[in-house]
Amino acid sequence: MPTVTMFDYEFMRTAFVAGGLVAVVAGAVGYFLVLRNLTFAGHALSHVGFAGATGAVLIGVSALWGLLAFTVAAAVVMGLLGERLRGRDVAVGIILALALGMGVLFLALYTTHATQATAILFGNVLGVEPQTVWALWALTGVSLAALGFISRPLLFATLAPELADAKGVSLRLVSVLFLAIVAIAVAEAAQIVGVLLVFALMVAPAATSLRLTARVGWGVGLAVLLAVAETWVGIGLAYFTDWPTSFWIVLVSCAAYFLSLSTRTDRLRLLPPAH
């Protein structure tokens, strides 16, 4: 079948729009996530959000809103803890295990829609409903506006935290606001690749971008372009192969990162250590 016929289907057009919206946010937010050495946050928040998504389904609410509520709440707590969160791998691991356990319980109590549980875990961009796309438009707008608003103090606090603190920048407030934006990005990305694969969509394009350029403006733009391209290519490959969309998106994202490993990384040493 010619490629053009792919867009004759409404669900494919919806998938490309939804995937593009999510990828823009994932790329932009993921860049700062990697730059701040907080990639664990995307992974942790997705696991916490699993309990929220399944709990929302249990009470008859959209999984997106449950996921969003739990991830934002967890992000605020993580941001308030600040440096005290570092080095507490055991405590964080126990909390994540508890969240997953709660999610499993909610699924056991609500067994009438097993396909919805699979979508929460692994994503189903081809099944995104039109009303969800409107929600993604709103969340994308809020995320990008908030990220643009705090981008300067965020970058200052990331590259030179001691100096930023001395200049009166509230590192804790910046951390809370940024992690809240990350939580929104995680909730959006989970609609495309599921809570178990959010890490790949948010981290791989950003990590690839950081290997290719050390200029922040170019880096953010490149991360967004990579995320969008990898998402759209993944959706297209899923259409032609009938293999899971999440698999293709993750495969393409990881392949791009592995290819970037062949580039020189000397210029990245110009960046101060992130905190």
Q: Is 169 exposed, middle or buried (0-12, 13-18, 19+ CB in 10 A)?
A: middle
- Alpha carbon 165 to its chain centroid, in Å, reads 28
Q: Is 210 exposed, middle or buried (0-12, 13-18, 19+ CB in 10 A)?
A: buried
**How far, in Å, CA of 187 to CA of 190, rounded?**
5
- Nearest residue to 207 via CA among 66, 14, 38: 38
Task: Supply 144's token pair.
Answer: 């990008």
Q: Is 238 exposed, middle or buried (0-12, 13-18, 19+ CB in 10 A)?
A: buried
Q: Which residue has the tokens 């289907």?
A: 9
- Pseudo-torsion of CA 84, 90, 93, 94, nearest 10°? -110
Is the model's pTM score more than 0.85? no
Query: What is the chain's mean pLDDT, rounded?
Result: 82
Q: What is the pLDDT of residues 91-119, one digit of tens each?
A: 566 667 777 777 777 777 766 555 566 66
**How far, in Å, CA of 275 to CA of 269, rounded?**
15
Domains present along the chain, CATH in parentheses: 3-261 (1.10.3470.10)
Q: What is the pLDDT of residues 147-197, one digit of tens each?
A: 999 999 999 888 888 888 888 888 888 888 998 999 999 888 887 887 777
